[in-house]
Amino acid sequence: MKILLSAYACEPGRGTELGVGWNTAWEIAKYHQVWVLTRPDDGRETIEAELKRNPNPNLHFVYFTLPIWGSGWRWGSIAFLIHYYLWQVQAYFVARRLHQEIGFDVAHHVTFVRHSTPSFLSLLPVPFIWGPVGGGESAPDPFWKDFSFRNKVYETLRSAARWFGERDPFARMTARRSAVVRVTTQDTAIRVEQMGAKQVEVFPEASLTKEEIVYLMKFASSQTSEIRFISMGRLLHWKGFHLGLRAFAQAGLSDAEYWVLGDGPERQRLEALVEELGIARQVTFWNRLPRDQALQKLGSCTALVHPSLHDSGGWVCLEAMTAARPVICLNLGGPAIQVTDETGIKVDADDPEQAVQGLAAAMVRLANDPDLRADMGRAGQLRVKEFYNWESRGQQISQLYEDVIKRSSQRL
């Protein structure tokens, strides 16, 4: 088939949205002819270098950016969102011209993974697939009391932007015209259904490549006798690292360590919290490290603590599972789908005090039960290999295309 992908973010060798764009295109091109609409700003050189090393005649990239305001996305978060919206408008005109030349069978919006901004590719006269898209997750109201004034403003503006986006007539048009909408979490599913989508499937966007899985699995045998918990990511208020540190203090594991890996605006507040809790001797803050070094740190720890309050998807959870490390997370968002009772411990998030108690109990349980840690580690590896690798993800998406075209032809 001839497939048109819209991937605003797309670059090989990267995680998050950039990796979603690239890996989706790469895997689909094993089965079909693929044309990818993307920007030249960040990834073009990397993409072309990768295609030179590993040619793929089925994969074609179409680069474009706004003719007047091409680099406007660099001017701050508001300018970034405006640029993204306008790029989606331009993408339609580029896609319409391409469709007249090529005749696509399916159009598919891949990145950004954002449900409150439209994709005008839905106007093309071919079946349209939207997603996975996310962003419908919110920090539960009781947790706002731990946020600073600035962070409360951030959450309020985020909710307001989402509310207006969901009422954008073009976003609603995108939802209604989609043959299938794939969403990262049940929270987003509810919102997209309210926007008019008829067929919605929960389908996480995060996956790992075969090379990443092989690399991470080598840490499985490097189990340490020391009890050491780790949290990784940008130090943002909604990542919930303050909950993990409070839980660690409450757990009372005097011989254990807690590593915080990353940097961000919450660094000083977290360091002050550690002093206040009296656990400074046991806690180490690492700066943001190169990926290899970060994964080595993960591989020398007992378990990952990921108490995020509104993650659409958590790559670090998959990385920990592949390295045979149990995951402790809140029963919220994408991590709650990735992590099962066999691969980690999910803690309910009714309010901060209850969540901290649950996280602390999970830490104590894993610290005192090496057999449980080993069982969860093996189960985590199996889950990633079966469900969260890009090769199987490509097969699943290819099957989706066939199903969508079959249903479309039956309606004609």
Q: pLDDT band for position 142 (50/70/90)?
A: very high
Higher-pLDDT residue of 272, 15 = 272
pLDDT attached to residue 287 = 86
pLDDT attached to residue 43 = 80
pLDDT attached to residue 412 = 54
Distance, CA of 138 to CA of 116 (rounded, Å): 14
pLDDT at 324 > cutoff 90 = yes
Q: pLDDT band for position 411 (50/70/90)?
A: low
pLDDT at 143 > cutoff 80 = yes
Structure tokens at 71: 């680099």
Per-residue pLDDT tens for 370-383?
999 999 999 999 99
pLDDT at 265 > cutoff 80 = yes
What is the reported pTM? 0.89
pLDDT attached to residue 331 = 94
pLDDT at 87 > cutoff 60 = yes
Higher-pLDDT residue of 292, 259 = 259
pLDDT attached to residue 16 = 80
pLDDT attached to residue 261 = 94
Percentage of the chain exceeding pLDDT 90 = 74
Mean pLDDT throughout 157-181?
Answer: 94
pLDDT attached to residue 280 = 92
Strand partners, 220: none
Q: pLDDT band for position 294 (50/70/90)?
A: confident
pLDDT attached to residue 123 = 96
Per-residue pLDDT tens for 24-78?
999 999 999 999 999 987 688 899 999 999 999 999 999 998 876 555 556 556 7
pLDDT attached to residue 76 = 58
Mean of pLDDT over the chain: 91
| Domains by residue range for the chain, with CATH | 2-207+389-411 (3.40.50.2000), 210-387 (3.40.50.2000)
pLDDT attached to residue 91 = 95
pLDDT attached to residue 323 = 92
